[in-house]
Amino acid sequence: MKVQDGTSISSLTRGFGGTVATEHSKDSTIQKYEMGGVSLRRLNKKHHIVDTDIDMDSYYVKIENNSTDYLTNIIGEDRSSDSVSSPTLSFNGEKSVGGNKIYATENIVYDTVAPLASYISLSPSVNATAQIRTVSSTSVKGSEISFTDIPYQDIELNRRNKMSSLRMVSSSPNADEYLTSLPEKRSSILALTFSTNNYNLSPMMFLDDITAEYSKHRIDKPDIDYVNDKRTSTFLFDPHKSTYVSKTVRLAQSSNTLKVMLSAFRDKAADFRVMYSLVKVEGNPSIQTFEMFPGYQNLTIDADTDGYLDIIDVSKNSGLPDKFTPSSSSDNQFIQYEYTAPNVGPFIGFAIKIVMTSSKMDKYPRFKDLRAIALA
């Protein structure tokens, strides 16, 4: 019998590993039950993802190389170490495979929840209030502990409620494994309380219409050296999940210095860097790249120009403000930030870019009063 790659085999074991033995005619061409040199018995099963390098939109799946998987299913020979007859397991090529029976169970991560409920309250003396019991979640490359039971807290119906930390609606497999102590293994429990001061009146709740909206902010904390890593200067290769880019502002006359002023809330777990793109008279307007503002560590006062700032070394621009600015001490504290790019002209237009990071997805930067001034 010949295999699809042209090699010949003298014998086969039928019905191996619980498969169904079927007849084949003489000189039939068959193919191995594998993909990229790895048996499909190791692939066609339930997998655990690797608990490292989990990104916003991707993660790694580990292919077991032992004789059994984490569910103690027999998946083949022990290929965890080299031997003459059984070398260490590895893929021998890249393949694109799949089908309509492949799916991934996922947790719904959120920092804001809006419980939506229809109810009738015929008098100000009757009311319906809500509480929610949740479980914790971990940010992308964060250090929070997941699946921790968080006791009931008050929330408002039909409104967006900001949580004090990141939460999740757990997938069924994770709930079965980690939430055994919670009622019905539920990761999100809504409790409703009806009250009245009139014996003859009470609220009426339509239980069939109760839903909830969960939302989060797309922000992560990529490993990046803002001084030497130039990926942020582009659109295509920027690793940040959270960015803001302004429209290009055209100037009536050329300028030489650019200033940006803004007010921002920045938690100690978060950071942001500000960049600019200039339209030069002799430049190519179709190619837009961004440069970091110098930052307070790369600015000096030029004594020959009556105290105006000057850049020490353009290659060391960091995107930081003109002076050191501490993080916000409360949730609604917006602090003034100022950025100066002196003597970078002449230019006849500009655009602003802000890249944001946070090790806690629920602690994201917030901005207001963004202004930019071009100076001659």
Tens-digit pLDDT profile for residues 182-232: 999 999 999 999 998 888 888 888 988 899 999 999 999 999 999 999 899
Q: What is the pLDDT, as a whole number, of residue 34?
A: 86
Q: What is the pLDDT, as a whole number, of residue 5?
A: 57
- Identify whether residues 211 and 265 lie together within a single domain: no
Asked if residue 321 is part of any domain, the answer here is yes
Asked if residue 153 is part of any domain, the answer here is yes
On the CB side of 44, how many CA atoms lie within 13 Å of its CA?
Answer: 14
- Identify whether residues 112 and 209 lie together within a single domain: yes
Residue range 334-355: mean pLDDT, rounded: 95
Does position 85 have pLDDT exceeding 80, yes or no? no
Best mean pLDDT range from 66-70, 139-143, 234-238, 347-351 = 347-351
What phi, psi does 326 have (nearest 5°)? -70, 165
Both tokens of residue 109? 């991560």
1, 28 contact by CB (below 8 A): yes
pLDDT tens across 119-172, in order?
A: 888 788 888 899 999 999 999 988 999 999 999 999 999 999 999 999 999 999
Task: Give CA separation, 339 vs 158, 246, 314, 332, in Å.
Answer: 41, 16, 15, 22
Closest residue by Cα to residue 339 from 302, 295, 371: 295
What is the percent of the chain with per-residue pLDDT over 90, rounded to a whole number? 56
Asked if residue 240 is part of any domain, the answer here is yes
- Identify whether residues 175 and 260 lie together within a single domain: no
- Identify whether residues 234 and 185 lie together within a single domain: no
Domain that holds residue 31: 1-80
Q: Cα–Cα distance between 279 and 247 in angstroms, integer?
A: 12
- Identify whether residues 251 and 300 lie together within a single domain: yes
Does position 279 have pLDDT exceeding 60, yes or no? yes
77, 68 contact by CB (below 8 A): no
- Identify whether residues 239 and 343 lie together within a single domain: yes
Global pTM reads: 0.82
- Identify whether residues 56 and 141 lie together within a single domain: no
Asked if residue 100 is part of any domain, the answer here is no
3-state secondary structure 122-183: CCCCEEEEEEEEEEECCCCCCCCCCCCEEEEEEECCCCCEEEEEEEEECCHHHHHHHCCCCH
- Identify whether residues 27 and 120 lie together within a single domain: no
Asked if residue 96 is part of any domain, the answer here is no
- The confidence band for 102, taking pLDDT boundaries of 50, 70 and 90, is confident
What is the percent of the chain with per-residue pLDDT over 70, rounded to a whole number? 93
Mean pLDDT check: name the lowest of 14-18, 118-122, 235-239: 14-18
Asked if residue 173 is part of any domain, the answer here is yes
How many independent structural domains does the chain possess? 3
What phi, psi does 207 have (nearest 5°)? -65, -30
Both tokens of residue 39? 């048996």
Domain final residue pick, 181, 215, 249: 215
- Identify whether residues 5 and 131 lie together within a single domain: no
- Identify whether residues 236 and 203 lie together within a single domain: no
Asked if residue 99 is part of any domain, the answer here is no
- Identify whether residues 122 and 71 lie together within a single domain: no
Asked if residue 266 is part of any domain, the answer here is yes
Q: What is the pLDDT, as a whole number, of residue 55?
A: 87
- Identify whether residues 124 and 207 lie together within a single domain: yes
Q: What is the pLDDT, as a whole number, of residue 306?
A: 52
